[in-house]
Amino acid sequence: MTDVEETLKRIQSHKGVIGTMVVNAEGIPIRTTLDNSTTVQYAGLLHHLTMKAKSTVRDIDPQNDLTFLRIRSKKHEIMVAPDKEYLLIVIQNPCE
Amino acid sequence: MLPASAKAPHKQPHKQSISIGRGTRKRDEDSGTEVGEGTDEWAQSKATVRPPDQLELTDTELKEEFTRILTANNPHAPQNIVRYSFKEGTYKPIGFVNQLAVHYTQVGNLIPKDSDEGRRQHYRDELVAVSYQGSQESVKVISETGNLEEDEEPKELETEPGSQTDVPAAGAAEKVTEEELMTPKQPKERKLTNQFNFSERASQTYNNPVRDRECQTEPPPRTNFSATANQWEIYDAYVEELEKQEKTKEKEKAKTPVAKKSGKMAMRKLTSMESQTDDLIKLSQAAKIMERMVNQNTYDDIAQDFKYYDDAADEYRDQVGTLLPLWKFQNDKAKRLSVTALCWNPKYRDLFAVGYGSYDFMKQSRGMLLLYSLKNPSFPEYMFSSNSGVMCLDIHVDHPYLVAVGHYDGNVAIYNLKKPHSQPSFCSSAKSGKHSDPVWQVKWQKDDMDQNLNFFSVSSDGRIVSWTLVKRKLVHVDVIKLKVEGSTTEVPEGLQLHPVGCGTAFDFHKEIDYMFLVGTEEGRIYKCSKSYSSQFLDTYDAHNMSVDTVSWNPYHTKVFMSCSSDWTVKIWDHTIKTPMFIYDLNSAVGDVAWAPYSSTVFAAVTTDGKAYIFDLAINKYEAICIQPVAAKKNRLTHVQFNLIHPIIIVGDDRGHIISLKLSPNLRKMPKDNLSQRHLESHGLFPLPLWVSGHSSQPWEKKGQEVQKGPAVEIAKLDKLLNLVREVKIKT
């Protein structure tokens, strides 16, 4: 197994992590540990948000780029790591 | 009709005056008004009108006769013309000036009879006349015209050529042209028809039906394309363009067709491989960051403590400090192994290397080299495994990706972190001069004169070896063979056996390059020089058991420290044979380390699971912090201070590494301490934020006092040493 696979496995098995998913550049989920409907919803919404965030950062300074996006809500934390072609989304419950 | 050129003398233009009186009458031929005698009576009724500006002339002048001559000259023609002659290069007058003046021209359509065109027409007319002999009318016409022509032609000849407009001649000409036009038509229309039963029959052919043929193609496929033109899209486009240009430049530079082919082959292979694991490999960066974030969330409180927590209770504790446990690093694969070496990375301050092996002579198994980052406590960044236990390691200062490792089986190896294969990049072997006993310590040295990397290793087999990386191979040079002094046993035949001393630790002087200390299993410390391979500069009878660690003070160039399994930690001045300070810690001391921020602070770990922190400036006799760090069963094997953060890592023999934060009491400095410069000079930049004593803005004092930094630290230690020395001298 490649390093990346192992890393993803570790992340999934980490304490408090609810789910992980990998979304491609068009917002279509490639890999997920959650059920389909949730995945599709998360993928679509977060994809737009990430694009918007990226656009914002780069508009201000084109040499800058978005590295990470964290949305902390009451119930849990959604973390988005954008990549050139993919989006890695992890939902974690940080308190316990 | 030639103009009459009146050559009048140059006078003012004379005006007409009709003077009706019986006086003188003026005759002006130009005006054309001839006043005859018969008009005298008629003119008398009129009164003479004299314009007011009429010229006043005397009678004689009035009677003066002016002659006017009519000539055939053109008054507008120039009187003399000069032309430039290129032959002679001067202007030459032309004698004859053309006096012709044309008043009226009209282009006519009369052709002279004798010219080509005239003859042609005449010939044509004759032809027509011949062909028309059948029909009378045409013949008559022609004959008439022919007569007319004949009559007219002589007249035409008589008339002047060129510009005469004679009406009858024109009429004849018109007739001729009309008939010319008519004559070519007539032969076409002539048709022989039967007078008796001629019937005209006509038929119409069938018109082919007109058919329309069409074909329709599919409309070209259309897609809608829309994009936004943001600042960054424009920037990206430019960057891409730049990269393309650079690539083409590189391709031009490196032109080898063979290489290109092989490159293409390699590329094909790569692409086929990549398509399989394509999607996920690209995620590696994102996955790494994500893992760290997840960990940060989980260990959020620890991260906060690490950054911000300072034990407030220290103010009330009298010069005693505590260690706050932070992250704990452990890995399943390294569970049974002991931590045998710890080293912080000099460049990436959150990265540290851990060597795993076993100190137990009987239970020797594999070894591991793990590199952890503080940002991810749950999994190491790099993992290497080896057959033999790792006993020591060192990371190169200039090349933070090179790790030198010494093994239990006597081999040394260099791992390159940039190429994370499990195998070391370079390894020594039995052939290439490995040690015959475990390698206890390795240390990188500065590059030698040929810019080759080199490091030293010390082992129980008594050899201190310098390894140089020459052209991808490890070459070894024995620097010193440790001998046990003063114990040459004499064998009957006069041979002198020199039992070999076993080196267990060494340390190089920070400033004096060639000087280094070696600790041995017998408990002695030798001061050696790289240049003298047989003799020691000095010997210290340090301990009763083997010396585990020797370490020079980072500030004071004369002071070093040693620890041993005989429960003691000793601090020495290398010029004096006896130690300055001795500390008994009730248990075998695994390791000691000087703090990078102060010359008087050091840490020691013992096998009963306790960590000791000493600050000589505060308390010369006791530790200011004694804290059990691990369970009592666990023996602590190594300790290291982080260069910028106020944390220490402690390794134990169960394979755990615990990071602890030093409380403020443990990192005190005198108020005007400016050891920043010293820290800088030793490569400990960026400055630790907390280095400056009590001031909250450490950089305030930076620029003010320049050279005081290390001096303060040294002075601090010197004071203490002097006190001790005085005591010694007295005793």
> Which residues does chain B have within 8 Å of residue A84's beta carbon, measured at their own beta carbons?
282
Nearest to B232 among A8, A11, A62 (CB): A62
Place of tokens 């038509």: B185
pLDDT confidence of residue B461: 84
Distance CA B303, CA B296 (A): 7
Give which of B610, B698, B601 is closest to B660, Cα–Cα.
B610
How far does A15 lie from chain B, in Å, by closest CA? Answer: 7
- Where are chain A's structural domains? 1-92
pLDDT confidence of residue B669: 63
HEC-encoded secondary structure of B489-533: EECCCCCEECCECCEEEEEECCCCCCEEEEEECCCEEEEEECCCC
Whether B232 sits inside 8 A of A4 (CB atoms) is no
Q: Which token pair is B524?
A: 């002695």
Whether A62 sits inside 8 A of B236 (CB atoms) is yes
> Which residues does chain B have within 8 Å of residue A62's beta carbon, measured at their own beta carbons?
231-232, 234-236
**Contact residues, chain A to chain B, C-beta under 8 Å:** 2-5, 7-8, 10-11, 14-17, 22, 24, 30, 55, 58-59, 62-63, 67-68, 70, 77, 79, 81-88, 90, 92, 94
How far does A37 lie from chain B, in Å, by closest CA? Answer: 22
Least confident window among A35-39, B316-320, B725-729: B725-729
Interface test with B, best of A6, A9, A10 (most B CBs within 10 A): A10
pLDDT at A94 over 90: no
Distance CA B464, CA B506 (A): 9
ipTM: 0.86
Give the residue from chain B lying closest to A2, CA to CA: B281
Please check whether residue B696 is in contact with residue B626, taking contact to mean a CB–CB distance below 8 angstroms: no
pTM reported for the whole predicted model: 0.62
> Within an 8 Å CB–CB cutoff, is residue B309 touching chain A?
no
> Which residues does chain B have within 8 Å of residue A7's beta carbon, measured at their own beta carbons?
284, 287-288, 291, 379
Q: Which token pair is B682?
A: 């030793």
A70 strand-pairing partners: A79
Place of tokens 């004092």: B701
Tell me the pLDDT band of B519, cut-offs 50, 70 and 90.
confident
pLDDT at A37 over 50: yes
CB pairs under 8 A between A and B: 95
How far does A53 lie from chain B, in Å, by closest CA? Answer: 13
pLDDT at B66 over 80: yes
> Which residues does chain B have within 8 Å of residue A63's beta carbon, measured at their own beta carbons?
235
Task: Say how many CA atoms lie within 13 Å of B11 toward its Cβ.
Answer: 9
Nearest to B286 among A88, A92, A94 (CB): A88
Could you read off the pLDDT of B86-131 as tens digits, one per residue? 998 899 888 888 888 888 898 888 888 888 888 898 889 888 888 8
Distance CA B720, CA B731 (A): 17
CATH fold, domain A1-92, is Beta-Lactamase (3.30.450)
**Count of CB atoms situated within 10 Å of the CB of B199:** 6
Distance CA B675, CA B714 (A): 10
Helix (H, G, I), strand (E, B) or coil at B571: strand
Task: Give me the helix-helix angle, B136-158 and B167-189, nearest 10°.
Answer: 150
